[in-house]
A and B are shown apart, each in its own frame.
Chain A
């Protein structure tokens, strides 16, 4: 046992230190300890969540690569595969919003082009504290500028995301980023080392001191100060990486060209835990070892210690495994793209352990054949981190909160509620290039994004794909299991609005401190809810990310599982209906009018939250809601395929309920609606996903078709005039609504 100071400073517990000694059959030296510390960090090893994640369904005939690789991959048809990945960059963004968000984008792109896919689009779900706070404004503007600055210049469009303001995120904002890429099916590559004697070549930026300990010091601990992040700014800022999109752009083009030319046998990005992670994961997957010469790593500054080189998280770096005879061709291609490359190691044969089994060793040497400074089994770093089944406990106040139902909240002024709660996120997404590659049919700001399945180097196809990211911490705070299941339903409903059928899910599980039993209970419940809903919907989970320790001053965030769902559209030659209805259209609600046949209509709703109510009960996930989603998806898909339709507009009933959906459609079209008989404010504001507002010239045909499919349909009224009239409860000028919605965000941010 060491004196404990060193391994604890690096983030390892005393028990974990003992495990390291057991693996090595000796005490680790400083370098080896540093390598274990980063690889066994929560961020890299998922040591608190892995036993739960195993319960997720991950297979389907169209899944080409499931969880565990750099990105999940599905077969999208016509010889094209889609790669999908989601990540969090929460803690770096809390400390340095511009660089935190920028490097979040950079990291996720590398995960996707590592698979051989060209990154085609990015989405960013963002969660901040209320915008009337100066620090929140600084975070919002910094994060948006970072995504814009990096994403636009690296040449990948940002096509959507989410923007949530809630006091729970004031000290611990969430910055998640999802990337989708596409590749010709046959180009699929895996991050795997093979071929003893092959070379390990480091591509891209030089290595510096930035980001050392990012995964352990920063991502795997909470913010402890009473004022949250602020008190730790100075201490932790050096653990935030700095991004260079121009370097990344050249790295993308060089790597895709190398893959096209068949010059690499395996490739892996350097993200969290840097070179240690890339070397140990590629070696472990390939069942081989790897010798690395730390003196061969190009450095940004002189004098880095071996442990700094091995754990640096400097951005824009890739590790390629290359046959020696291909090295010259690789160097020439890198020179064209002005990408630095250096041979830093070679694949080594496994050695026999005490029991005679082959073990691939990661060795760090001084010179290629020089003295060995560290020698560690690759699998012990990559796959053998301790697995924790941390204590779980139902929150003590759960029953009391469930009894505190907001059904007693009075309606108040419905018109004022709508004017105050509608927010158009355009101020954010106008700052993102959302159109590059000429694929964006439906861009940011709608239910889901819809893109053509096309890109440089892809086989021709008329297919399309849709993407959405969804979360609902209001629901998950009340009931993480039902809340997460309903979040998947919401995502599927969003996809249906653009005609897409769900094909795969990735999840980013943002939770609080896993050492709090209530947090582990939330996580476990959320995983179960997601698993149940995925099985019901027939959609596999192909990857994910877990972000824990989202706490400050001892307060955990509300459970925030974010789901990214990709859907497919068979034929995309015409845009789907938008939110714009026409004068004289009939406005129809698809899905049950009694959305929640229980006595808790407003629990978890935005309406309740805006009144400070956080209690009540959620309805269970109901498979019947999937029927309405399928009906709408089929109807819209027919339009996308060029079919004639009387449907002018489609929008799902999401956050803010039916009143919000109707108000958004009125604002978008500039045409009002007269709905004579809403049954009360609960009907206006209840939230139950799987319902849709559809505007059509021929309501009789729609109602009949819906009935044939087993979907309830209610004609609410006619779109007409310049006022939104909801019974006796609301009478509002559409122009006022549109103006307030359009300017709400800029006003809130003081811009």
Chain B
């Protein structure tokens, strides 16, 4: 989960959101965590393929390119989600009552 940790030091402040659940009983945090885990796997997979290519194991060029691109895009999506959550949090914090 190293790649994910570099997004931001503090854990996501979503405690208030935990109350709602999906029909399957999953909370937003569960969903996000699940996605983040998959992104991590995707990145590790892409890294592994690149390393194998570098050391001369059998590879498929298009396969490496696709894996890298998928990892990159899903990571960017995760990053955007995190940014928006952070923005929402800050907006809420800014509200004066």
Do A and B interact with each other, yes or no? no
